[in-house]
Amino acid sequence: MNDAPVIQTRGLTRYYGAKAVVQDLNLEVMRGSVFAFLGRNGSGKTTAIRMLLGLLAPTRGGGSLLGCDIRALTPAVRARIGYLTEEHQLYGWMTVREIGEFQAAFYPRWHPKIFTGVIGHFGLRPGLRVKELSRGQRAGLALALTLAPDPELLILDDPALGLDPVARRSLVESMIYLTRRSDRTIFFSSHNLGDVERVADQIAVLDYSVLRVCCSLETFRGSVREVLLRFAGAPPPLPPIPGLLQAFRTDHELRLTCVHYNRETEQALRQLAPVSLELPPLGLEDAFISYLGERGEKSFILAEPEVES
């Protein structure tokens, strides 16, 4: 088994004029993972993906895909990568069947079974003309065209954009189906955290062009905690708490969101002499929003703890 990362970047940076769109991005995506690339609109995700694929030259830094330098991706390496963009460029006058046959001619490893399987999954009849398809059907067709060459690495740039819930579920099912082969890697950007929760095992979060999180989904959920302190009277002023993201106060309560909550944090909070201290569970979406909120420290990055090997 090849343990080298499928995607690796070092200090990947891109400026547009004086503005850094992606800043010092260091990513590692291991083979077999389902990696969600998250961040708000305009945080630099698409720019980063375009650099990964060699479609846009980095201002600084670099990286590799399947072990090949991203500035010099060969056609042979590209043939092992499936890439699905936000906008699906398809010939409107062709039928679904024709566009499949047309595309197949470009790929040595084309699997008609995968193609018909995916279009069937999206409820597409082969005789339909592309220009008559709905948005969800077009997405299904584009996905079928991307999956049929059986790519080792699948890169999806916001594949769920504009899809209705049924089409989106079909998309997620297709992604899960792909994980049947444990050597297949999926790297996808998304705003739908429900989908992310279902399929992803690793996440990275870009915020204002800087990588702020790169770890497993579970590590992220475990690191961002909500703390609820109840007081007999009005809550006292809050001392500096390391890793504090947000604080809300009500008449008798202080509700904090912290990252890297640990024994020291708890001791510092106990000093405030609350009547009770609780750690209510926090959903992924709330954790994500707190983490990317306007307030709070921005100086740390959430990563997997270093493991001695």
Partner 1 sequence: MNFNIVISTGSSTPIYRQITEQVKHAMATGKLTVADQLPSVRALAESLVLNPNTVARAYGDLAREGLIESRPGRGVFIIRKRRVFAREEGRRRLEPLLDALIGEAMAMDFTPEELKETLEKKISQWKHQKGAEDR
Query: How many residues in the shown chain lie near partner 1 by CB under 8 A?
Result: 28
Task: Tell me: does residue 201 bind partner 1 (CB under 8 A).
Answer: yes
Measured from the Cβ of residue 19, the count of other Cβ atoms closer than 10 Å reads 8
Task: Tell me: does residue 276 bind partner 1 (CB under 8 A).
Answer: yes
Which one of 69, 264, 285, 304 is in contact with partner 1 (CB under 8 A)? Answer: 285
Interface region with partner 1, contact rule CB under 8 A, candidates 87-95, 115-123, 237-245, 281-289: 281-289
Task: Name residues whose C-beta falls within 8 Å of residue 146's C-beta, 6 or more positions apart in sequence.
Answer: 82, 83, 84, 154, 156
Contacts to partner 1 from residues 230-249, by CB under 8 A = 230
DSSP-derived letter for residue 245 is E
Which one of 172, 205, 269, 302 is in contact with partner 1 (CB under 8 A)? Answer: 172
Whether the CB-CB separation of 97 and 126 falls below 8 Å is answered with yes
- 3-state SS assignment for residue 167: helix
If the CB atoms of residues 51 and 199 are measured against partner 1, the closer one turns out to be 199
Which one of 90, 282, 289, 303 is in contact with partner 1 (CB under 8 A)? Answer: 282
Task: Tell me: does residue 177 bind partner 1 (CB under 8 A).
Answer: yes
Q: How far apart are CA 142 and CA 185, in angstroms?
A: 18
Task: Tell me: does residue 180 bind partner 1 (CB under 8 A).
Answer: yes
Whether the CB-CB separation of 261 and 243 falls below 8 Å is answered with yes
Q: How far is the CB of 209 from partner 1 (least distance, A)?
A: 28
Q: How far is the CB of 182 from partner 1 (least distance, A)?
A: 9
Q: If we measure between CA atoms, which residue out of 218, 249, 223 comes closest to residue 236?
A: 249
Q: CA separation (Å) from 169 to 117, 165, 190, 302?
A: 15, 6, 14, 29
Task: Tell me: does residue 283 bind partner 1 (CB under 8 A).
Answer: yes
Q: How far is the CB of 276 from partner 1 (least distance, A)?
A: 5
Contacts to partner 1 from residues 6-35, by CB under 8 A = 34
Distance, first Cα to last Cα, the chain = 18
Task: Tell me: does residue 278 bind partner 1 (CB under 8 A).
Answer: yes
If the CB atoms of residues 67 and 222 are measured against partner 1, the closer one turns out to be 222
Q: How far apart are CA 186 and CA 199, in angstroms?
A: 10
Q: How far apart are CA 285 and CA 278, in angstroms?
A: 20
Q: How far apart are CA 257 and CA 223, in angstroms?
A: 10
Q: How far is the CB of 100 from partner 1 (least distance, A)?
A: 25
Q: How far apart are CA 50 and CA 25, in angstroms?
A: 13
Q: How far is the CB of 178 from partner 1 (least distance, A)?
A: 11
Q: How far apart are CA 80 and CA 153, in angstroms?
A: 7
Task: Tell me: does residue 193 bind partner 1 (CB under 8 A).
Answer: yes
| Integer-rounded Cα radius of gyration of the chain | 22
Contacts to partner 1 from residues 39-98, by CB under 8 A = none
- 3-state SS assignment for residue 6: coil
If the CB atoms of residues 15 and 177 are measured against partner 1, the closer one turns out to be 177
Q: How far is the CB of 102 from partner 1 (least distance, A)?
A: 31
Using CB under 8 A, list all residues that contact partner 1: 34, 169, 172-173, 176-177, 179-180, 193-195, 197-201, 218, 221, 230, 276, 278, 280-286
